[in-house]
Chain A
Amino acid sequence: MARIIVVTSGKGGVGKTTTAAAFAMGLAERGSKTVVIDFDVGLRNLDLIMGCERRVVYDFVNVVNGEANVGQALIKDKRNPNLFILPASQTRDKEALTIEGVDTVLKELGREFEFIVCDSPAGIEKGATLAMYFADDAIVVTNPEVSSVRDSDRMIGILSSKSRRAEQGLEGIREYLLVSRYSPDRVQRGEMLALEDVREILSLELIGVIPESQAVLNASNAGVPVILDRESSAGQAYSDMVSRYLGDELPHRFLNVEKKGLLGRLFGG
């Protein structure tokens, strides 16, 4: 049985797709056959972040509707043979997905893949609730910012009540917190919620802290999951997060301000 992981947040623009792409690539790199699915019907973007936007022929909705089979819609990643992408439809609306349809597709994928990563759309409407419904694990992506933390808290409530696991009385979804766009120097200046503050409010197991990094924009510009930028702090932080998910215990990195010399402080930007 495949493990189904939803990447969710409630709020938009916090880094769900960046995380889903990096996480899926990381799992594939550790040797697990992984598929990442875009649930954002009507506003697909995972294909862009993965750099396969010109190879989309059939999409998730086509498969749900029986217009194509899963094999026809899956896009094989060019960098890693373990990784496949199932893009969302760009033309339909979010009502095009049904719970039965998604169930059927996930079951079929589950026979072939070890991990199924579901990239949730923002909001708490149909696409988002379907993305989380079948999940075994959830990664709640949160920025250290009031609206994002509040929405994440709301999402955590929804995860524990509106999932297959909740409805069937099974063990609940395992929920993890991923803090992204973390800026230690702003935290030090008292301008940004500190990690401890976010954890105190959301009290979930922390799976990673992704520092604010130019590398994330560079990666999305190029259509390369940022985890492949191994020099970058964000790439390394994602790599740590994948290791933690797979059971390694690693200390969190990039939490403190890098020390600057006197000259750096006077003249550096």
Chain B
Amino acid sequence: MALLDYFRQRKSNSAAIAKERLQILVAHDRRGDGPSYLPHLQRDILRVIRKYVAIDNDAVTVNVERDGSREILELNIILPD
């Protein structure tokens, strides 16, 4: 019933959510995959740290940033409080 739909209509704004998610995702994708050893490196680091501290799977992030001809390996480890 079009009449009912008219009154029931609420402003959903899933498009805004879509845009925000895409902007983050695309920026991440564009940074590139980095060298193929990165996932392995990430796993190894995780394993070594776990010998000493209990950390979550997502506590270690490994990224390669390119700055002109320089490559910067960025390693982020979040230790539990």
Contacts and interface: CB of A to CB of B under 8 A. Distances in A.
A78 interface: no
A148 to B, nearest CB: 10
B26 interface: yes
B2 interface: yes
Given A187-B15, A193-B19, A194-B15, A201 B26 contact: yes
A233 B23 CA distance: 30
A189 B16 CA distance: 11
B26 A190 contact: no
Interface in B19-41: 19, 21-23, 25-26, 29-30
Interface stretch (A44-52, A95-103, A150-158): A150-158
B9 to A, nearest CB: 8
Interface stretch (A217-225, A237-245, A261-269): A261-269
Given A153-B26, A153-B30, A267-B3, A146 B21 contact: yes
Query: Which size bracket describes the interface of A in this complex?
Result: 20 to 34
A205 B25 CA distance: 21
Interface string A53-69: 00000000000000000
B30 A157 contact: yes
A150 B12 contact: no
Given A190-B14, A191-B14, A193-B15, A269 B22 contact: no
A197 B19 contact: yes
B78 interface: no
Contacts of A266: 2-3, 6
A204 interface: no
Interface of A: 145-146, 149-150, 153-154, 157, 187, 189-194, 197, 201, 265-269
